[in-house]
Structure 1
């Protein structure tokens, strides 16, 4: 009789052999699918798993090399060793698989940042459509070969220095999305950016987050994009934007710091009058800034307005009221409150009512106030909305980290406020989750 242990090992090996045979049979059955279906499956599982199919059987050993197009996406978030191995294998993949590169997305640390020049030269010739590159520290220079990607539809760059445009640059004729986050441009880079946007006639989505311009004072430059539908700008400074003929613009997100100090602010807002959705984050408006009581433009299409603000100083309150006066068809108002240490200006009911005009909030139906602290100015604003908005049906409230009175006392006070709409409901949602 053989030893009992050896019998178990033979049985285990037998089961493993049967499982491997079954897997190989299933894999070979997949090969009977039409090539375009099989390509779609391998593209969906990702390039790393597509290469691993080489181990299934002899018939699969080189199947991934026949892919008609490649999606190469490698994110280095956390300790993703798979992404690092994938970046290390890019040269081999591009050499063995001659198919079109549809997408190339990568987080590039110092190890691989130097390889991007050669990769761009290859994938630009392979008709890359979606390109997303995030670099590490130090603003490494982006190779000028990026401007040869003539078929690109989406370009996202972060953490790099963008080189000057090459002579004879004809633009990105198929570009629809341009995202620049924490990038640096050379001297007169504002005009370079103006040219990139102007020579992208199909551009629909433009996002500029903390774009840094070298040199001295930034000159005015034009954002002209007749098909632009969404605009996002985030900056601490007035970076000279001039909005021109954005007839297709539907939504905008604008976060600024000291731009409100400049006289161009009102003119800048007038370039957004066609939007139906607007998000404004006016950070750090000094107390001594004199805000207009009314804007010289009307947002006739605006249906949804989000404000990231506080009620502790006069300027942000005045700005909020100016926007409400200028948006006669507004239906939804969302206010996300970031807390200041103390309320230094009193905006009581008498002050707010003096600024109220006929037609304000005539179509307002939904109000959300997130991160409230129950300070007097916030309470006065809620009372104003409840007493004036005749079509209001929902007022949703959640509080922030620090509150100056108990929720019970605050809600009891709210219940005593008069309501212009018989259908208005006050919904308290407790503590707000992180929202900005």
Structure 2
């Protein structure tokens, strides 16, 4: 008898089985309209547009959203994307971050005017790639809903006569921007009329003209400030009661003004970074003592060297006013050729009562095992009673062997029984 042929299994249809995309679409469409709009608005712009492929009901739904975010880091996509999105989406743009090339920079004024008619944006970020300056349209000064501004390599126009400030602005970041003559007045007004400002970054800000008035940065809610400039534009700090951290690049101009007055406004800071390897010779007398104490300061980071007297005296000047300091980090810059040698007697004479009383961690990076560097580390080891670690790394190009000086530090007398000397090798290795 011939063998029986196996039966074919019949597929039982399941009306509940649906394609994954259809199931996702049904789940989205089951949401209340305002919730669905919020979900789509929180998606990346490209993903929001892609939801059009899920089902007919979602086709072009992104175009009717009350608000969207336009964030385009790619220069190649900026022009095409913004030109396609802005005319089709009638809602307000909450976030507008665009990297500009030469062609898109030419369209920027038109885009900003369209955004103004839509009610302005909350988060604005503009930067050119390659680094070619663009001009900012003054319409931006009417966007009273701005919470965050990030501008790089642009020309800032004068403030319009009807400028009323940015009442909800929390972040202002200006990097390599140009103000016209008397721009210090303009910058002061922008900051002062932003009462909620929490973060201020002024890096390589350029102001036209040669003579600058002294003016104050007034921001009662400011928590972080960064100032990096090779020119003194007259800025000072008013009282900043909420200040948590500050990064200040002093460059060379501090010797020509009242440096103590410059620092008084930072007295509430808890974390401070100072670039001071350009400390000028005429700053010696100015930097003997500060008229204030940094009682809240716990962490200090210094970019300096021990090759000349001014930066060394500046270190002691600061430490005298920072007696609650717990962490000190010193990054050596331009410190290969020692021009003056200071002995332990001189350094001991710079000490004041309570100096380094709470210091727990000292980190020295990029050292060259110079005598002044060694003397400073020995001084801290012998005086800091709460010190836990002295962490050391030498300069990448250091030609001096670390064996003997490191052994000298390890065996040196310590005020703290818990103090450990940790060697991390070359600075670039960690």
TM-score scaled by structure 2?
Answer: 0.89
1:222–1:243: 8 Å Cα contact kept in structure 2?
yes
Provide the secondary structure at the position in 2 that maps to 1:191: helix
Shift of 1:246: 1.9
Note the C-alpha offset of 1:237.
1.6
Alignment-derived partner of residue 95 in structure 2: 103
2:62 aligned residue (48, 61, 64):
64
Tell me if the contact between 2:396 and 2:428 (Cα under 8 Å) persists in the aligned partners: no
Select the residue among 223, 226, 235 that pairs with 2:220.
226
| Higher deviation after alignment, 369-378 or 148-157 | 369-378
8 Å CA contact retained: 2:201, 2:227: yes
Q: How far did 1:95 drift?
A: 2.1
Structure 1 residues 288-343: Cα deviation after superposition (integer angstroms, max 9, x where no partner): 64253322221122111110111111111111111011111111111111233311
For structure 2, the residue ranges without an aligned partner over 5 or more in a row are: 1-17
Q: How many residues align?
A: 411
Q: Deviations over 1:94-126 (max 9, x none)?
A: 222222211111111211112222222222333
Post-superposition CA distance 1:5-41 (Å, at most 9, x none): xxxxxxxxxxxxxxx9543444444433444554454
The answer to whether residue 237 in structure 2 is matched with residue 243 in structure 1 is yes
In structure 1, what is the equivalent of residue 159 of structure 2?
A: 165
Q: Provide the C-alpha distance between the structure 1 equivalents of 2:98 and 2:400, rounded to a whole number of angstroms.
A: 49
| Maintained 8 Å contact 1:280/1:308 | yes
What SS does structure 2 have at the residue aligned with 1:279?
Answer: strand
1:29 to 1:204, Cα distance in 2 relative to 1, 3 A: closer
The alpha-carbon deviation at position 69 of structure 1 amounts to: 2.1
Residue 287 of structure 1 and its aligned partner are, at CA, apart by: 4.6
Report the Cα distance in structure 1 between the residues aligned to 2:21 and 2:297, rounded to whole angstroms: 58
Q: In the alignment, which residue of structure 2 is the partner of 1:175?
A: 169
Deviation for aligned residue 1:196: 0.8
Other-structure match for 1:325: 320
**Which residue of the partner structure matches residue 431 of structure 1?**
426
Pick aligned residue for 1:117 from 109, 122, 141: 109
8 Å Cα contact 1:259/1:265 also seen in 2:
no
Q: Is the 8 A contact 1:99 1:126 kept in 2?
A: no
SS of equivalent to 1:420: coil
Distance 1:420 1:340 in 2: 28
- Aligned equivalent of 1:340, options 332, 335, 346: 335
- The RMSD of aligned alpha carbons is 2.2
| CA positional deviation for 1:271 | 1.6
Distance 1:41 1:98 in 2: 17
Shift of 1:404: 4.2
Equivalent residues of 1:237, 1:256 under 8 A apart: no
Deviates more, 1:22-31 or 1:414-423: 22-31
Which residue pairs with 1:10 in the alignment? none
Query: Is residue 126 from structure 1 mapped to residue 119 from structure 2 by the alignment?
Result: yes
Determine the C-alpha separation between the residues in 1 that align with 2:154 and 2:319.
Answer: 39
State which drifts further: 114-123 or 314-323: 114-123
Q: 1:59-97, CA deviations, whole angstroms, 9 ceiling, x for partnerless residues? A: 332122233321111113xxxxxx532442213312222
Q: Does 1:294 align with 2:289?
A: yes
TM-score by length of 1: 0.88
Q: Is the 8 A contact 2:119 2:143 kept in 1?
A: no
Q: Contact conserved, 1:293 with 1:355, CA < 8 A, in 2? A: no
Alpha-carbon distance change, 434 to 94 in structure 1, aligned in 2, over 3 angstroms: farther
CA distance in 1, matches of 2:417, 2:142: 62
Deviation at residue 390 of structure 1 after TM alignment: 0.6
CA contact (8 A) 2:365 2:427 kept: yes
CA–CA separation in structure 1 for the residues paired with 2:212 and 2:132: 22
